A = this chain, B = another copy of it.
């Protein structure tokens, strides 16, 4: 349910699919061959062959040639991952705007996109207040419990809100999520929709508040979101409201560069 589903693969890709499963097994912390084999449900021979191919290609790495063989994610994944990040259209366009927002606010700035029921962090400008957030680029969090995610939800039908709200409550990454009761949560989201700006009052991480706004592409679809986050000390409710226009402006500037035209909506 976490996203590891794998049922509906186009036929004729078993080997590729299994190979990717090996990568994900290793990513999930399964180091040894036997362990990986058990995870992906293949014989040791098969798993060994796949893993070897992946090592050969640099997607996995098998340190300590002698002794107990263990696998870790390989260097080519680093290459591809960073390249992928910098190639995603939003990221390149957004970067300078995020930098600017970070410089103005001195707080941590995030960029994220929706991935199913989660938000994936794509960029992070570290704040200058000497406190580090747990967020990392490449990490996923439940949509409904982060400011970034809420900004991504605003355009969705309310039925989906409920799904995502429930998903956040039972999400492994946030076992002790403190979301408001559903009616209150929905009310908050509706109000955010009017302001085009979502707030997060320590719902995802205690002590951390944030202000977020959605980014749209040429078709008007919400494709990403920006947020400014900081410790509660630096984030009084008044400051959050003061910050809102700047965050929205940043989001709109990025949207405009992506071809979005303000005041126009897509009717597809």
List residues of A whose CB falls within 8 A of some B CB: 8-10, 12-20, 23, 27, 49-50, 52-54, 56-59, 61, 63, 72-75, 77-89, 113, 115, 120, 122, 136-140
Q: Which residue of chain B has the shortest Cβ distance to A136 in the bound complex?
A: B82
Going nearest first, the 6 A-B pairs with the smallest beta carbon separation are: A81-B81, A82-B138, A73-B84, A15-B15, A16-B19, A13-B53
Can you list 8 contacts pairing A with B, beta carbon distance less than 8 Å?
Answer: A12-B49, A13-B19, A15-B16, A16-B18, A72-B84, A75-B84, A79-B120, A80-B81
Chain B hits for A80, CB < 8 A: 23, 27, 73, 77, 80-81, 138
Q: A16-B19, A17-B53 are in contact. Are A81 and B138 (CB under 8 A)?
A: yes
Chain B hits for A57, CB < 8 A: 17, 20
A82 CA to B136 CA, complexed, in Å: 9
Task: Select A75's contact among B17, B56, B72, B113, beta carbons within 8 Å.
Answer: B113
A57 CA to B195 CA, complexed, in Å: 35
Chain B hits for A81, CB < 8 A: 77-82, 84-85, 138
A27 CA to B27 CA, complexed, in Å: 21
Q: Which residue of chain B has the shortest Cβ distance to A59 in the bound complex?
A: B20
A75 CA to B66 CA, complexed, in Å: 35
Chain B hits for A75, CB < 8 A: 84, 88, 113, 115, 120, 122
Q: A56-B8, A56-B10 are in contact. Are A16 and B50 (CB under 8 A)?
A: yes
Nearest CB of chain B from residue A87's CB, rounded to whole Å: 5
Q: A74-B84, A87-B73 are in contact. Are A79 and B138 (CB under 8 A)?
A: yes
B85 A78 Cβ-Cβ under 8 A: yes
Chain B hits for A78, CB < 8 A: 81, 84-85, 88, 120, 122, 137-138
Q: Which residue of chain B has the shortest Cβ distance to A82 in the bound complex?
A: B138
